[in-house]
Amino acid sequence: MSIAEKFVAMEYGPAPEDPKEALAWLDLHGRRFGHFIDNTWRPPTEDGYFETADPSTGEKLATVAQGSASDIDGAVRAASAALPKWQALTPHARARYLYALARTVQKHSRRLAVLETMDNGKPIRESRDIDIPLVARHFYHHAGWAQLLQQEFPGYTACGVVGQIIPWNFPLLMLAWKIAPALATGNTVVLKPAEFTPLTALAFAEICSEIGLPRGVVNIVTGDGSTGEALVKHPDVAKIAFTGSTEVGRAIRSATASSHKRLSLELGGKSPFIIFEDADLDSAVEGLVDGIWFNQGQVCCAGSRLLMQESIAEALIAKVRERMSTLRAGAPLDKSIDIGAIVARVQLDRIKRLVEQGVAEGATCWQPQIELPSRGLYYPPTLLSNVHPTSIVAQREIFGPVLATMTFRTPSEAVELANNTLYGLAACVWSESINVALHVASQLKAGVVWVNCTNLFDASCGFGGYRESGYGREGGREGLLEYLEPAWFRSAPALPAAKLPADQKSTDDNLARPAIDRTVKLYIGGKQARPDSGYSMEIRASDGRLLGEAPLGNRKDIRNAVEAAHKASGWAKTTAHSRAQVLYYVAENLSQRSEEIARRLAAVVGETQAASEVSLGIERIFSYAAWADKFDGAVHNPPFRNIALAMNEPLGTVGIVCPNQAPLLGFLSLVMPVLAAGNAAVVVPSEMYPLITADLYQLFDTSDLPGGAVNIVTGYTSQLLKTLAEHDDVDAIWCFGDGTSAAAAKTYSIGNLKQVFTNEGRAIDWFDVTQGEGRWFLQHAVQVKNIWVPYGE
């Protein structure tokens, strides 16, 4: 076609990015890669190699090593060996390394972008303009954190060797999100890139060598799920950070339950994209392009559920269709392409299958008449309308360029539909009214809410989910905490095995039996309740004397308590000031009854400890009353013209298992931060002295604490913990019993992937203010929601 003909047609024509340099780099390595361990390339010890291909052509790019358990072991050994020296470096020295990583990523930015696009199939525009710049930004930002570590996180220490497993949708970016905070906080790393997309991780490994990063600090082991499994199970790995499917996240939770491995999970999503009638509709449509048609929809936070206000639905759908018709699908290396290739055949098949099922369930499928390449793995942008909440395409993560649409009538219905999901990763709200937008944003169960924007990311802002979208945050201060632990906690001794007085069978029960001066009940929904079982358990003093009987709670009591907690959601909406007032009042009432409570407690823990538990208990309540209106969020500073609000939100209902060591102080040390942050609690008091319940509910009843904010169920910890941890309407478990119960809490919480906070079977000195109270507890009592609000007129 001549220029004159092109002058008439005004088509774009091809605009390919040259892959020459990236291919030359692959050739330089003979198109074959071993593992990167201890700064050397090591061939696989057992399982050979596998191929990685360009999904847009099917052409093989390279062969990479299949990591075995012994390869993982070699990498973990290297990382362990590197740990002491790496941690002995000054923060400034580590900052220099991270700075060098950022700089060097920038120097090789185009090669990395091209490599990413070839291996993954994403448009070069995205890898060039979004992925790689964010990678560099992440290392820069964390070079800063490395520099400031000691000032900003005094008393904290690194976890040790961290195992990191990343997905194929943003290969190098996810690597950066994992490695940068780990290194900045003084950990060493074994990272497994995704099987489909290992190449940029290997290119990054070479950059680590290039900048002279000490041996063993970063190790990359390639392979499939079995490689990841070996990493997860390795005993010398202190923490696992995983991004990927909820299904695998659940398997990892299960596999690490009996260990002390820390865990952060960034999992799937089915994020709502809410458009109100007063939105700038054309801009909202562009938001969808940046949302569900970004990276072929293979984005965990993709706005895959479009919720439209009824009044604008028809006009909006017309606009969406028009826009879909101008999307260009094609060779990912073409600079004028919006939609590239799907990463792998199995993923393409999954998308097709789910869309077919959605249509079979009544959805209407519309796809624009745009050209798709004849070879390679492509799927057209797809609009599914008439989707009902019951349909699989409204519930399941498709991970493809497929948008499911629904309508709503009112803001409250929008929130209801938006939150009607197992997930809670991200959400978008489009409205020109700041009242509507922020009101809705505050009610959405999502770790990130974008107001009038979509898929904005920055190293300074935490990213992560609510519910089954995982736990932990990546980015910002909140992300760093995932790689840090209080130094005292790391070196805390193991908890001695509990010895309940009841075990020491007293010889003369009957003679010693005093009059039972009152009946202790459960405390549910602000009322004293008899146990469902109709049984009680005997509670004995340290010398074996029978002190009284506590109700023997069972599953149904836990069920009732959780329901009561759920109904007490008003506590979360109470102002922080009012919550503080209530807590102060509890302290005031405890102070008034301090003598009688201490007297009864003394029978179990002795007079000295009892007096101390009561007086420190009053102080502890004061501390959290003080914190209630001071545990602020933050306003982050991403490089955009907007306000990024990091809000500390309550988790919801927290199940608490109290320690035996300090029946009163332990209870207060756990329940008070949970209440201060606005959660409701279902508490299992210590088995040692559950009779404290009677004293506590009298305190709560007289202190204006709303019914249901705290519920107390006494009984055998092991039985109650199981029901509590398995309960899908419990959002987090705080388990501070022995090591067995910590493992049980993790195991039983797999169902809804609730957050688990335990003492890892270690002894916490509740009488020491450094250990027994403060930010560490509060941080576990909240989840951070980042709300992005761009502004400008």
Residue 200 region by backbone torsions, left for phi larger than 0, else alpha for psi between -120 and 50, else beta: alpha
Instruction: Count residues near other proteins (CB under 8 A).
Output: 45
Q: Which of 27, 322, 632, 728 is close enough to bind other proteins by CB under 8 A?
A: 322
**Cβ-based nearer residue to other proteins, 184 or 453:** 453
Shortest Å distance, C-beta 127 to other proteins: 12
Residue 292 CA to residue 276 CA, distance in Å, equals 18
**Cβ-based nearer residue to other proteins, 327 or 576:** 327
Verify binding: residue 40, other proteins, rule CB under 8 A.
no
Backbone torsions φ then ψ of 173, nearest 5 degrees: -65, -45
**HEC per residue, 79-129:** HHHHHHHHHHCCHHHHHHHHHHHHHHHHHCHHHHHHHHHHHHCCCHHHHHH
Question: Which residues sit opposite 383 in a β-bridge?
Answer: 366, 403
Shortest Å distance, C-beta 425 to other proteins: 21
Q: Return the H-helix or E-strand segment holding 278.
A: none
Q: Which of 407, 421, 554, 642 is close enough to bind other proteins by CB under 8 A?
A: 642
> Computed over its alpha carbons, how large is the radius of gyration of the chain?
28
Verify binding: residue 635, other proteins, rule CB under 8 A.
no
Q: Which of 182, 279, 402, 541 is close enough to bind other proteins by CB under 8 A?
A: 279
Verify binding: residue 328, other proteins, rule CB under 8 A.
yes
757, 783 Cβ separation under 8 angstroms? no
Q: What pairing do the DSSP bridges indicate for beta strands 239-243 and 382-385?
A: unpaired
Shortest Å distance, C-beta 449 to other proteins: 15
**Cβ-based nearer residue to other proteins, 70 or 326:** 326
Q: Return the closest-CA partner of residue 324 out of 394, 274, 383, 387.
A: 383
Q: Which amino acid is at 212?
A: G
**Cβ-based nearer residue to other proteins, 349 or 432:** 432
In the DSSP assignment, the letter for residue 629 is: T
Q: Which of 282, 538, 543, 607 is close enough to bind other proteins by CB under 8 A?
A: 282
Which of these segments, 180-188, 282-290, 395-403, 689-697, binds other proteins (CB under 8 A)?
282-290
Shortest Å distance, C-beta 332 to other proteins: 14
Q: Of 159, 208, 300, 301, which is the active-site residue? A: 300
Residue 299 neighbours by CB under 8 Å, 6+ apart:
169, 170, 291, 399, 455
**Cβ-based nearer residue to other proteins, 18 or 152:** 18
Active site residue 266: yes
**Cβ-based nearer residue to other proteins, 255 or 327:** 327
Q: Which of 70, 90, 150, 326 is close enough to bind other proteins by CB under 8 A?
A: 326
Residue 12 CA to residue 776 CA, distance in Å, equals 56
Contacting other proteins within 761-790 (CB under 8 A): 790
Which of these segments, 6-14, 62-70, 571-579, 669-677, binds other proteins (CB under 8 A)?
6-14
DSSP characters over 31-73: TEE-EEETTEEE--SSS-EEEEE-TTT--EEEEEE---HHHHH
**Cβ-based nearer residue to other proteins, 12 or 535:** 12
Contacting other proteins within 199-258 (CB under 8 A): none
In the DSSP assignment, the letter for residue 329 is: B
- CA torsion, points 22, 24, 26, 32, in degrees to nearest 10? 170
**x-or-dash pattern for other proteins, window 338-367, by CB under 8 A?**
x-----------------------------
Handedness of CA 562, 567, 572, 578 (dihedral sign): negative
Verify binding: residue 453, other proteins, rule CB under 8 A.
yes
Contacts for 537-542 with beta carbons within 8 Å, 24 or more apart? 537/690, 537/714, 537/715, 537/716, 538/502, 539/502, 539/689, 539/690, 539/691, 540/500, 540/501, 540/502, 540/504, 540/506, 541/501, 541/603, 541/604, 542/501, 542/603, 542/604, 542/605, 542/606
Verify binding: residue 591, other proteins, rule CB under 8 A.
no
Shortest Å distance, C-beta 61 to other proteins: 25
Contacting other proteins within 391-450 (CB under 8 A): 430, 432
* 3 state DSSP class of 229: helix
Residue 717 neighbours by CB under 8 Å, 6+ apart:
657, 684, 687, 737, 741
Verify binding: residue 509, other proteins, rule CB under 8 A.
no
Largest CA distance in the chain: 112
* 3 state DSSP class of 172: helix
Q: Of 266, 482, 613, 649, which is the active-site residue? A: 266
Shortest Å distance, C-beta 436 to other proteins: 13
**Cβ-based nearer residue to other proteins, 53 or 456:** 456
**x-or-dash pattern for other proteins, window 286-305, by CB under 8 A?**
xx--x---------------
Q: Which of 18, 59, 129, 310 is close enough to bind other proteins by CB under 8 A?
A: 129
**x-or-dash pattern for other proteins, window 53-92, by CB under 8 A?**
----------------------------------------
**x-or-dash pattern for other proteins, window 707-736, by CB under 8 A?**
------------------------------
**Cβ-based nearer residue to other proteins, 535 or 791:** 791
Tokens 């099987």 map to which residue?
195
Verify binding: residue 281, other proteins, rule CB under 8 A.
yes
Q: Which amino acid is at 16?
A: P
**Cβ-based nearer residue to other proteins, 7 or 517:** 7
Q: Which residues are catalytic?
A: 266, 300
Note the residues at the interface with other proteins (CB under 8 A). Answer: 1-4, 6-15, 125, 129, 278-284, 286-287, 290, 322, 325-326, 328, 335-336, 338, 369-370, 430, 432, 452-453, 641-642, 790-793
